[in-house]
Amino acid sequence: MEITLDKADEYFGAENHTMSAVWFAYERQQRMAAIATARRVLERSLHRSLRETQDSGEIRDDYAAFEQALFELRKRPAANANQGQPYPAAQDAVVAEGNQTVSSTFPLLSDDALRWLGWNGVAVIRG
C-alpha cells in the first residue's frame, strides 16, 4: 500500500479501524500534513526511507506511517465543522487511575506504529 491520503483513508475506514471517527474528524489538509509529518518522524527515527510498497506481512511501513499520522493529529484538537469545537472522539479520555501508555524505546512515536515496524517495547507507567 502506498503512503498516500487515499490509502490512509482506506486504512482508517469504518469497516477497518476502530479509530475511524477520530481520523475523519480532521480536515483533509490536516490529514495530509499529518502523513507528511509522520513520514519525516519515522524516517528520522529509523535512519532510513519508508518503503512505499511492500509484501503484506508483519512489518508494514505504510501502516506504521498511518498510525503515526493519527498519533500526530491526536496531539492537537480537531475542529468540529459545525461548531468549531474540539471533536469529542479526538480528545483524550480521562482514565480514573491516570495511566498512560508510553513507549519505553521511543516516547514520541505511536505504539501502534512501532508494532507495525516490529517493535514491541511498551511499558505501562502508573501514576
pLDDT at res. 37: 95
Supply the pTM of this predicted model: 0.73
The secondary structure of the chain as a DSSP string is: --SSHHHHHHHT-TTT-TTHHHHHTS-HHHHHHHHHHHHHHHHHHHTSPPPSS--SSS--HHHHHHHHHHHHHHTSPPBPTTT-SBPGGGSPPP-TT--EEEESS-TTS-HHHHHHTT---EEEE--
Per-block average pLDDT, block size 10, for the chain (127 residues)? 92 94 94 96 93 76 95 72 49 47 64 86 58
